[in-house]
Amino acid sequence: MAVNQGLSHLSDHFLMVTLILYFLAVLAFAADFAFGKRGAPEPAQAEVPELVTAGAAGGAAAAKPGASTASPGPGNAGTANAGPGEAGPGNAGAVTGTLGGRAASTGRPGLRDASFWVRAGLALTVLGVLGHITGVVIRGLAVHRVPWGDMYEFVIAVTCVAVLFFLGLMIRYRPYRLGLFFMAPIVIIIGLAQTVIYTPAGPLVPALNSYWLAIHVTAITLATGTYVVAAVLAVVYLFADRHARRVAAGLPVRNSEVFKLLPSPERLDQFAYRTVVFAFPLWTFGIMAGAIWADEAWGRYWGWDPTETWAFITWVVYACFLHARVTAGWRGRRAAYIQLVGFGCLLFNLLGVSLFITGLHSYAGLS
């Protein structure tokens, strides 16, 4: 079927607007560091592992059961260690005295508590991702297939997944101030995609003309987008951890103001781990779907083609990361470095293998 050039151009316009919105979001997140108020509570500070007299935190967690036990009476649930405002049978402040960090995370600060700049950044990101999704969908309509058939389309789809996963992380754990560190690389990647590797909408070669494209490449796209988020978290973790170590060792530190606003290194490490936990099964499934497709198309499910080999290497390195996190002496920084090596393999497969390896085969080898 012929490519609809009008829709293709419309998609390009939407993605251009997306890029501008993301860029403005980056400016807003950066402005928060420059001008934002510093008093707002952060999740990082709410998880000090000591007995917390839960205020809003406990109240929020218990709101549901508390509301359903509205009839006060002697046999009703009560509270201990509660602030005077919340004491009372059947009150919403029933769950209190949380100990340890994770329970307190139910009491993460709401959007109301975030600064104007953070809210502006998030709003711009949400608007941008709507444009992003629209652009991807319209490109799909223009070419009558899933819109991740060439490198340009793939990068655009991957960044869309990364931004959506980032927003999911924001909704669930609310580490709002990571916005700058996420959105800045996203803007650079999309900008490069639109200038360096832009490909006009077109039909696929017969080898790609299969429903396995939808299954295999979709899984790989989702996994890659999620791995992007994990890699950003690992980098921020490494900086935050270095800062925390220097503080602990009494060494001079820079940018303390910034690190105070970020989640703790432990929390960042946990975010990164959970992100990889989502991406890894997707990647595994993507490789398996690719193997089934390879069997349909080429007559073997695995042939150590360079792309297959690097997908395998990437899988093995992320498996190393998952194992390292439960191995004494490998947690923390080492695990984060392994994760970044895995991401490097992923990038090499996407860029290096696609662009350079065929040349390496014969002439550019090891000479």
Partner 1 sequence: MTETSRMTEPDEVALLEQEDQPPAAPPRASGAFGAVGWLRWGWRQLTSMRTALILLFLLAVASVPGSLLPQQGIDPAAVQQYYVSHPGLAPWLARLSLFNVFAAPWFAAIYLLLFLSLAGCVVPRTYRLARSARALPPPAPRNVARMPQSVRHQTGQDPAAALAAATAVLRRRKFRLRTGDGWVSAEKGYRRELGNLLFHLSLLGLLAAVAMGGLFGYKANRLLVSGTSFANTVTALDVFHPGRLVSSSDLQPFTITLNRFQASYVRSGQLRGQPSSFNANLSYSAQPGARAQQYDLRVNHPLNVDGVKVYLIGHGYAPVFKVTDGTGKVVFDQPVPFIAVSTSGLTSEGVVKVPDARPDQLGFAGVFLPTAVDAGGTLESVFPAPLNPRVSLISYKGNLGMNSGPSQSVYQLNTAGLTELPVPPRPLAPGQSIKLPGGAGTLTFTGYRQWASLAITYDPGQVPALIAGLAALAGLLLSFFIRRRRMFVRAYPGPDGRTVVDVGGLARSDPAGGFDEEFARLAGEFQAAYAGETPEGKTD
Residues 99-158 interacting with partner 1 (rule: CB under 8 A): 99-103, 105-106
Length of the chain: 367
Smallest distance from partner 1 to CB 191, Å: 23
Closest CA to 276 of 337, 228, 329: 228
Binding track, positions 283-322, relative to partner 1; x by CB under 8 A: -xx--x--xxx-xxxxxxxxxxxx--xx-xx--xx-xx--
Report phi then psi at 134, rounded to 5. Answer: -60, -45
- The three-state secondary structure class of 52 is strand
Cα 221 to Cα 51: distance, rounded to the nearest angstrom:
43
Smallest distance from partner 1 to CB 207, Å: 5
Smallest distance from partner 1 to CB 249, Å: 22
Cα 215 to Cα 222: distance, rounded to the nearest angstrom:
11
Smallest distance from partner 1 to CB 203, Å: 6
Cα 264 to Cα 240: distance, rounded to the nearest angstrom:
7
Residue 298, classified by CB atoms within 10 Å of its CB into exposed (0-12), middle (13-18) or buried (19+), is: exposed
Task: Name which position in 8, 134, 194, 210 contacts partner 1 (CB under 8 A).
Answer: 210
198 belongs to the binding site for partner 1 (CB under 8 A): no
Task: Name which position in 152, 259, 280, 343 contacts partner 1 (CB under 8 A).
Answer: 280
Smallest distance from partner 1 to CB 40, Å: 22
Of 258 and 305, which has the nearer Cβ to partner 1? Answer: 305
Distances (CA, A) of 146 to 117, 198, 248, 258, 288: 36, 17, 51, 41, 19
Cα 332 to Cα 172: distance, rounded to the nearest angstrom:
23
34 belongs to the binding site for partner 1 (CB under 8 A): no
Of 84 and 250, which has the nearer Cβ to partner 1? Answer: 84
Cβ atoms within 10 Å of 347's Cβ, excluding its own: 16
Point out which span in 23-31, 38-46, 120-128, 354-362 binds partner 1 (CB under 8 A).
354-362
Of 1 and 34, which has the nearer Cβ to partner 1? Answer: 1
Smallest distance from partner 1 to CB 89, Å: 8
Give the number of residues in contact with partner 1, rule: CB under 8 A. 90
Smallest distance from partner 1 to CB 3, Å: 8
188 belongs to the binding site for partner 1 (CB under 8 A): no
What residues numbered 328-347 form the site for partner 1, per CB under 8 A? 328-331, 345
Cα 237 to Cα 264: distance, rounded to the nearest angstrom:
8
50 belongs to the binding site for partner 1 (CB under 8 A): no
Closest CA to 90 of 79, 98, 82: 79
Smallest distance from partner 1 to CB 253, Å: 25
Binding track, positions 69-98, relative to partner 1; x by CB under 8 A: x---xxxxxxxxx--------x---xxxxx
What the block records as the tokens of 68 is 């359903």
Task: Name which position in 13, 110, 202, 251 contacts partner 1 (CB under 8 A).
Answer: 202
Cα 153 to Cα 353: distance, rounded to the nearest angstrom:
17
Smallest distance from partner 1 to CB 126, Å: 23
Report phi then psi at 98, rounded to 5. Answer: -65, 140
192 belongs to the binding site for partner 1 (CB under 8 A): no
What residues numbered 220-259 form the site for partner 1, per CB under 8 A? none
DSSP for 140-192, please give it: HHHHTS-S-SSHHHHHHHHHHHHHHHHHHHHHHH--GGGHHHHHHHHHHHHHH
Task: Name which position in 48, 116, 192, 209 contacts partner 1 (CB under 8 A).
Answer: 209
Point out which span in 16-24, 36-44, 160-168, 270-278 binds partner 1 (CB under 8 A).
270-278
Under DSSP, the state recorded for 71 is S
